[in-house]
Structure 1
């Protein structure tokens, strides 16, 4: 008979554990396990440093252990002990499973994989204490009198099934079980898979028994001795070992006498109190295994923080030289370039912007003529701004290229590839930031014009504004600050020494903005390191849980 036992959503995941837990392990265990699960789930290992991949895999197994076994079992200790029959393809798991029950319950045969759907069998007398959980959700649930009361028999898919969903389900069910009944054969017990699975069981502190199936009678003694020696070498001296002799080609169930030793062992686990002892033993084993897992994960988190500190130091080491190079390029007066020079020659020939009369140290011009010059100089303003944009973008791109080489090239620090921004992303952000910076620089020229000349020099400054307009005179100051010698010579004629401080202020302003552009490239990398996952105290939650676990175990 089959029975749906509800969905995961229907379970009270955050509910309190069964009162019996307080008697066996103490109610605090559930709280610690629940808090541990929260903190492990929050862990992120963003830097691809040595050990990060293994730590992430371990984190996944730890979450599975908590989700599939510890927390569900701590919530309901009175539910029957789940004994999972597991093994590799063709080991005879389903045949053994059916033979233990005395009835064809789980599909068995020569087609692989045979076990596509897990089967979970309970004794009908246990119906009142069965609780929905990961195992019941993943399995076809049946009730059968052949299952000893207080236990549940689970036939799991092959651990090495060629169907990935079967392998995933098998691993999930192993994590959820209270006891593993691992089935292998005389011809395959030396394979890597059985020992990998048993090592995983030992790692999580699970109780294990082993069935060596299809053993030829003439080699039974030798193979049994060899397997026992291997178990001792793996520190598994207390693992019960059952040997099932090879009965030759057959269909259906094994003879009852063949599986009787396993049945007797299951009967020893039967009954609420005895099965609870198995559950508690496995729980204690699982809890005892947790500190090593949590320590390893916390160490991995700390390693992430140390790698982030090193990366941050590498980036900051580049900052002084990068800023100096950007500033030096502007302060050397090489921003203007050929485009500005060409524009000046054009304006000089057509608009005659540099044809002005100076008398008694002041330029002489009609206001109407000054407005024409101002309009003509607007194209020069655009060229100066474009030259400034090119300079700042080049400075930023140069730093980005340098950082990429330092962080991802030969000899790069661990994790560098994870913090270098995408080139296209940085180019877009840089373009927008530089446009805003140059716009602000250009706009500041009119403010500089307003401050030109005081007292005796005010008249000279006023005459220059009349001759070129405030926007036009600001353009000349910007062009000179960008490195236009032509603009500088004209300013000497119309302003004398008044222009020097103004030009230097504008050039210094542009140098500051170039340095800011460089900072943005460096800060984009540093921002990727300013994550709570890479903080010095990122592992503090895990360390607290570790201390709690050690007090409990």
Structure 2
């Protein structure tokens, strides 16, 4: 009676308290994103997937329905004889067994008819054929799973799912294959998730029984599983159909010992507690993976912060030196200025004197320079952006790239395309600002300003100011001549504006990197939710 009361108290604690913790854990684990491809990211993603499977296929369903029979999965590799063992335990051919591989294509769950009213649907029942059978001890459900190493990937996937859903693993291997990697990989998975395990060593020749049994027990101890029950089934030679009852009697007696609502629930609770005790290590590993992402992102941000200031300074210095005016723009200005005699204006009393006809001619001539000015500015801005990209690429990638750099740095071709569009737009806005400034001079402006607009036209005067702002001395002298009071200030303002736009283009090269690094999964508190779940788990376990 005390045993049943203790079991019910444990069940109540697990069902009412842990379910909420496991549900919240599942939500936070599912929300984890590892955007940077670090050395351990693939392994962490795989571990995250296994943790979600463990929660979805076993812990949450089992915590929700503790009264359902304990699921004992009979599992093993191809040709281990697990279906024959399964059928022999039931005393009837209910699961297909034979020499063709893979044999077990459809999982089979056999359960006692008296448990029909408490057997609830879950991950295992949804993919299995259900059979009521008096040979199954009450309180348990016996499940024959597909081969773990089946040639069919769907069988392997189903076998893995069923093992995750199990309350107890009955792992079947043979005297000739117990040393293979597969059994121990599966048993390691069982240990990781805290599952209860028993092992059946099948087809053991009598003359090697002692040696093989001793070796297997030592292997179990080496894997920290010395408390796992081990059953030895002797080699009975070629046969068809069921094994003699006496051959499988030890396994059958052990299953009977687990039978009954109280004892089977104890198996369930023991496995659940083992699974829960295993969770903190899994979650801790995921926390470490998230924090590695956060640390890598911080290093990448630092590299970006260090790389950009020199590029900004270089861009501003280039504008200040007048680099934009060099080359084709200066040649075009000299040609138009000479051909149209742009600089041949008269000044009396500080005011430019020109007839309207001559002013319109200068306006037309200077207007032809506007596309060249705009193009020169766009090329210069794009060049500064390209130089910044090279600096970023060197800082993040280089010969020894920072972890995660390739995940945030935009490809060179894509960056160039966006950069050219951005630079062209900035150059257009810069030119438009000059036209707007000149237009403003005509609205209630001084006699000096009105005369300058009459002498060069609105667009023409804007071009003079723009060329002067790019660093052409002749254009600057002409701007000062036309606008003795405001010319120098307007040219300086346009030059400053162009320098600001150059730094804007430089900063824009890092914008995609910063945006990628500013995502919530890379924020400093990205692991806080998992840490809270980890603290809750440790309090429970």
Residue of 492, 495, 501 corresponding to 1:513: 501
Deviation string, structure 1 residues 328-373 (Cα, Å, up to 9, x no partner): 2211111134332343355346544344344555432111321232
**Alpha-carbon displacement from aligned partner over 1:66-103 (angstroms, at most 9, x marks no partner):** 00000000110111100011111111111111111122
SS of residue in 2 equivalent to 1:27: helix
Match of 1:321 in 2: 310
- How far does the alpha carbon of each residue in 1:15-59 deviate from its partner, in whole angstroms, 9 at most, with x for none? xxxx98753535111111111111111111111123222111111
Contact 1:186 1:212 in 2 (8 A): yes
Distance change >3 Å, CA 491–CA 69, structure 1 → 2: same
Q: In terms of mean alpha carbon deviation, does 234-243 or 438-447 score higher?
A: 438-447
In the TM superposition, what are the counterparts of 1:295-310 in structure 2 within 5 Å? Answer: 295-310=284-299
Q: Relative to structure 1, is the Cα distance of residues 247 and 24 closer, same or farther in structure 2, using a 3 angstrom cutoff?
A: farther
Mark the runs of 5 or more structure 1 residues left unpaired by the alignment: 1-18
Secondary structure at 1:154's aligned position in 2? Answer: strand
Deviation at 1:425, TM superposition (A): 4.1
What's the counterpart of residue 5 of structure 2?
Answer: none
Q: Which residue of 2 aligns with 1:534?
A: 522
- Measured in 1, the distance between the counterparts of 2:300 and 2:47 equals 25
1:464 to 440, 449, 452: 452
- Change in 2 beyond 3 A, CA 1:117/1:20: farther
Take 1:228 and 1:84, find their aligned partners in 2: how far apart are those partners? 21
User: How many Å separate the matches in 1 of 2:392 and 2:263?
Assistant: 64
CA spacing shift, 1:530–1:337, aligned 2, 3 Å? same
1:22–1:181 distance in 2 versus 1, CA, 3 Å: closer
For residues 101 and 357 of structure 2, the distance between their equivalents in structure 1, rounded to whole angstroms, comes to: 96
Q: For 2:505 and 2:275, locate their aligned partners in 1 and report how far apart those are by CA, in whole Å.
A: 54
Q: Which sits farther off after the overlay, 415-424 or 75-84?
A: 415-424
Query: Residues 199 and 105 (structure 1 numbering): CA distance in 2 closer, same or farther, change over 3 Å?
Result: same
2:531 is aligned to 543
Looking at structure 2, the residues matched to 99 and 379 of structure 1 have their Cα atoms a distance apart, in angstroms, of 97
Aligned to 1:482: 470
Which residue among 144, 150, 171 is the counterpart of 1:182? Answer: 171
Q: Per-residue displacement from partner, 1:231-276 (whole Å, max 9, x unpaired)?
A: 1111111100011111112222222211111111111111111111
Please report the TM-score for the alignment, with normalisation by the length of structure 2: 0.93
SS in 2 for 1:45: coil
1:92 aligns with 2:90: no
Cα RMSD over matched residues?
A: 2.2
Answer whether contact 1:461 1:495 (CA < 8 A) is retained.
Answer: yes
Tell me the distance in 2 between the aligned counterparts of 1:21 and 1:378. Answer: 88
2:99 is paired with a residue whose SS is coil
1:141 deviates by 1.6
Partner of 2:3: none
The aligned residue for residue 120 of structure 2 is 131
> 1 CA distance for matches of 2:455 and 2:65?
92
**Contact 1:381–1:479 (8 Å) recurs in 2:** no
Aligned partner (choices 55, 60, 65) of residue 71 of structure 1: 60
Determine if contact 2:307/2:395 at 8 Å carries over to the other structure: no
Instruction: Tell whether 2:148 aligns with 1:159.
Output: yes
Match of 1:216 among 205, 213, 216: 205
Give the 3-state SS of the residue equivalent to 1:209 in structure 2.
Answer: strand
Alpha-carbon offset, residue 428 of structure 1:
4.2
Give the structure 1 partner of residue 103 of structure 2: 114
Alignment partners' CA distance in 1, 2:87 and 2:537:
40
Residue pair 1:99, 1:254 contacting (<8 A) in 2 also: yes
1:384-423 Cα distance to aligned partner (Å, 9 max, x none): 0111111111211222232223222322221111111244
Residues 242-257 of structure 1 correspond to what in structure 2 (within 5 A)?
242-257=231-246
Counterpart residue number, 1:334: 323
Structure 2: unaligned runs, 5 residues or longer: 1-7
DSSP-derived class of the 2:324 partner: coil
1:196 maps to 185
Q: Is the 8 A contact 1:453 1:460 kept in 2?
A: no
Using the size of structure 1 for normalisation, the TM-score is 0.92
C-alpha distance in structure 1 between counterparts of 2:151 and 2:398, whole Å: 40
**Secondary structure of 1:247 counterpart:** coil
